[in-house]
Structure 1
Amino acid sequence: MNAAPAFCAIDFGTSNSAVAVPDGARGMRLVDLEPGQRTMPTAVFYFSEGAHDADGPPRAFGRAAVKAYIEGHEGRLMRSMKSILGSPLIDQTTDVGGGRGAKYSDIVAGYLKRLRRLAGEPTRVVLGRPVFFVDGEPARDATAQAQLEACARAVGFTDVHFQYEPIAAAFDFEQQATQEQIVLVADIGGGTSDFSIVRVGPERMQRLARRDDILASHGIHIAGTDFDRHIELAGLLQAFGYRSTGPSGREVPSGIYFDLSTWHLINTCYAPLRVAEWRGMKSWFGDVRHHARLMTVLEERLGHELAARAEGAKIDISGGADTTVDLGHIERGLVLPLSEKTAVDALRADLDRIISTAHETVAQAGLRAEQIDALYFTGGSTGLRLLVDGMAAGFPQARRVTGDRFASVATGLGLHAQRLFGTA
């Protein structure tokens, strides 16, 4: 039997997570979190039925969690758990089906416990964190890190360290550096867009103290889940009554649509009183088909599936092509077109803010755009061509490099963990 690893590194992402562990003389390796998969969706499905075991209530994780939801098992799907950190929700209890409740902190801890077990149950960990959990609120940002550390300690980690995710990605990029250079790392994932400017080079790789090489770090709480929400609102939910007006000329209230397009709020749309309220609002709709579709989503609890279709549409148009979204599970024959122009218009404000944040990071480092040698893109949302091309246009002299969108951060966190713990 192999001895348990002494330490690990965890990239606990908004959309996906990954884990690195020591691999003998070869350094670090990424763990298969599911068969043949080095990354796992940050998702938990709580089953309404089934007995508790030593690990807690009956649950499925990752792809199995999403599959349980899609197959129609009774229960509650939890995603985007990282977005709860830093908010009062962390100490609140939410309904997970079957008359059961779970604290949000226990949901986060349960997922970390799963990752720790898959890593071989080490006691020391480097956890990735965004540059800002919460934009512009240092106290809440510090609270978010403290909450994540508390969850990690609750599941058996006794030595917990943090590293900024874009800096970890810079360490991954550094493995291919043949000379000293300044790299702007763009780590754009599901919840945040983070940037770091780091001086890298083969002679710097083995240094544990790299503070002087970190020239600036900055970020904004806008990323992939925001893209999904805007695409769902602009491209899908208008067929359900969003921004429509009724016979009286009043606009249909928009709150339900904002909640339906926000993962951690979708479940609130299914509250019996809320469903009953919207059932009685048919007269508000100029097109009764819109009301019928909305009620199907609410009564059959199809909000998460609708959000998943929006995410799939974003992926389809990421290369610059129009697509269609099949919603036949809501209404027979319902297929909605989604053009690249609609997506661009829906995302333009977010893309502009992200690109502006990249340039602000350069300014904070006291540099000019032409002094950046390379742009290193990582994170799931860097698959969006509109974003990558728009950012690269502001740094025409920089070499564009694309890392493993889902594993670069975990790889870099592993390198940092090895330097931190490897000689301990």
Structure 2
Amino acid sequence: MNDRAAVAGALGLDFGTTNSVVALAGARGRSELVEFAGAAATGAVFRSALCFWEEERAWNGVACEAGPWAIEEYLQSPVDSRFVQSFKTVAASASFERALIFGKPYRFEDFGRLFLQRLVAHAGGRLDARPARVIVGCPVEYAGARPDPALARQRYDQMLREFGTEIHYVYEPLGAAYSYAARLTEPATVLVADFGGGTTDFSIVRVAEPGAARRCVPLASSGIGIAGDRFDRHILDRLVLPLLGKGGRYRSMGKTLDIPGGWFTDFADWSRLALMRNRRTLEELGRLQRTALDPVPVGRMIALIEHEQGFPLYDAVGRVKRALSVDTAAQFRFEGGGVTIEAEVSRADFEAWIAPDLQRIEGAMDAALNRAGIVPAAVDRVFLTGGTSLIPAIRALFDRRFGAERIATGGELTSIAHGLALIGAEPDLAAWAA
């Protein structure tokens, strides 16, 4: 394949924990987002979710949808479906081998291939031709306790093997940096901070003047597996889990013990919650309920799992988090599966819950600055992207370190895909390879 052919077919894929976006490289250094077609479509943003249900005519007896269509299928019949979201967070986890859905095993790469197949099907024909060159965004650091980047890359390769002819990986914040550079009219050193659902990543690039032979030069990157989903878990931990038995006790062999925290760890992880609806887990929870000193909270957890309430619970948490980005207080309300939860939440409380995480995120940013060999004063522009960047406490962190006048935002959900497509139009990708 020659460079001209590769450049003509360049596609940028931002496969995100919460949302995914696709962009196609066009003429004269431009890229265009792929808009999805149909009544359930949400523009260029495709939710990173899958819904499974049993259907005789489907392959292996299980049918599948993705994106907003997965949400639509789930809402039509939540009890008879399995809704899977945030599955990107297990990409680098050696402890995740496969999930059983309606008795059928699915590996991460199986989820990924099904997701991409449905994404292509809803693209209105724009992705029917196999792209010649695909630039895939990947985090600088993967989510998880002990992430294995080599395993994640192997799984990504399997997931993408039918999607494009030539696959290249680029750090996600570098995609955003390339997109932001198109706005600049003079040379600058730019720090990009990408706040996603599973990870927060930083890249520092040097941007040359418009028309330069090489417009962007990457200097350093860093990342940490803390982002929007982690913040969601703090809300869940404070407002929901105590009502489901966290902190409770049960009797076993004549002793009174604390209810094991593993139940709540799994329940608070959106990538695992849907998978808890299996006979073995529900039987174990039933035994726990019978021996609990207060069986009512454990009964609530069982009801939420049995009635497949993961998505509406996730949605309620996301709504209150977004509301706290606008107002100083918000009402958390969830109702489903026979369970009702209401609570007033202040922005001050939420910021106190996430304060230790923000310190670690700031440490990851300092690591990028140190690797680039520069101090904050040498950064001319800071570009914040990703939906989680809208949280006021995050913006305040950057205002304090760099000054509000140096900070830019915009395209929170689409800038990475735009930049990845533009990078794909470069004849030499060596400097951008992750």
Pair 1:326 & 2:330 matched = no
CA contact (8 A) 1:318 1:385 kept: yes
* Equivalent of 1:400 in 401, 407, 410: 407
RMSD across aligned C-alpha pairs, in angstroms?
2.9
Is the aligned partner of 1:94 residue 2:99?
yes
Distance 1:408 1:37, change over 3 A: same
Deviation at 1:284, TM superposition (A): 5.7
Is the alpha carbon distance of 1:386 and 1:298 closer, same or farther for their aligned partners in structure 2, counting shifts above 3 Å? same
Q: Which runs of structure 2 are paired with 1:10-409 in the superposition (5 Å)?
A: 10-24=13-27, 27-34=30-37, 35=41, 37-52=43-58, 57-73=62-78, 74-88=80-94, 92-97=97-102, 99-116=103-120, 118=123, 119-121=127-129, 122-133=131-142, 140-153=148-161, 155-203=162-210, 207=214, 210=216, 213-245=217-249, 250-282=257-289, 285=292, 287-331=294-338, 334-396=341-403, 399-409=406-416
User: C-alpha separation between the residues in 1 aligned to 2:297 and 2:422?
Assistant: 52
Query: Which segment is superposed worse, 300-309 or 221-230?
Result: 300-309
Contact 2:35-2:44 within 8 A present in 1 as well: yes
Shift of 1:28: 1.8
Q: CA deviation at 1:193?
A: 0.4
Residues 3-29 of structure 1: per-residue CA shift (max 9 Å, x gap): xx7331111111111111134567320
CA distance in 2, matches of 1:317, 1:352: 20
Q: Kindly indicate whether the alpha-carbon contact (under 8 Å) linking 1:18 and 1:39 is maintained by their aligned counterparts in 2.
A: yes
The one-letter code of the counterpart of 1:52 is: A
SS at match of 1:406: coil
Q: TM-score, normalised by structure 1?
A: 0.87
| Residues in 2 aligned to 1:350 and 1:280: alpha-carbon distance in whole angstroms | 35
8 Å contact from structure 2 (residues 240, 341) kept in 1? no
Letter in 1 for 2:328: A
Q: Distance in 1 between matches of 2:268 and 2:189?
A: 38
Match of 2:10 among 7, 12, 24: 7
Query: How far off its partner does 1:96 sit?
Result: 2.2
Structure 2 stretches lacking a partner, 5+ long? 1-7, 430-434
Report the residue type matching 2:208 in the other structure.
G
Q: CA deviation at 1:283?
A: 6.1
* CA distance, structure 1, for counterparts of residue 152 and residue 245 of structure 2: 36
In structure 1, runs of 5+ residues without a counterpart are none
* Alignment length (residue pairs): 411
Identity score, percent? 26
SS in 2 for 1:146: helix
Q: Which has the higher contact order (CA 8 A, sep 6+)?
A: 2
When residues 150 and 283 of structure 1 are mapped into structure 2, their CA distance, relative to the original with a 3 A threshold, is closer
What is the one-letter code of the residue matched to 2:394?
L
**SS of equivalent residue, structure 1 residue 328:** strand
Alignment partners' CA distance in 2, 1:307 and 1:397: 32
Give, in whole Å, the separation in 2 of the partners of 1:147 and 1:288.
41
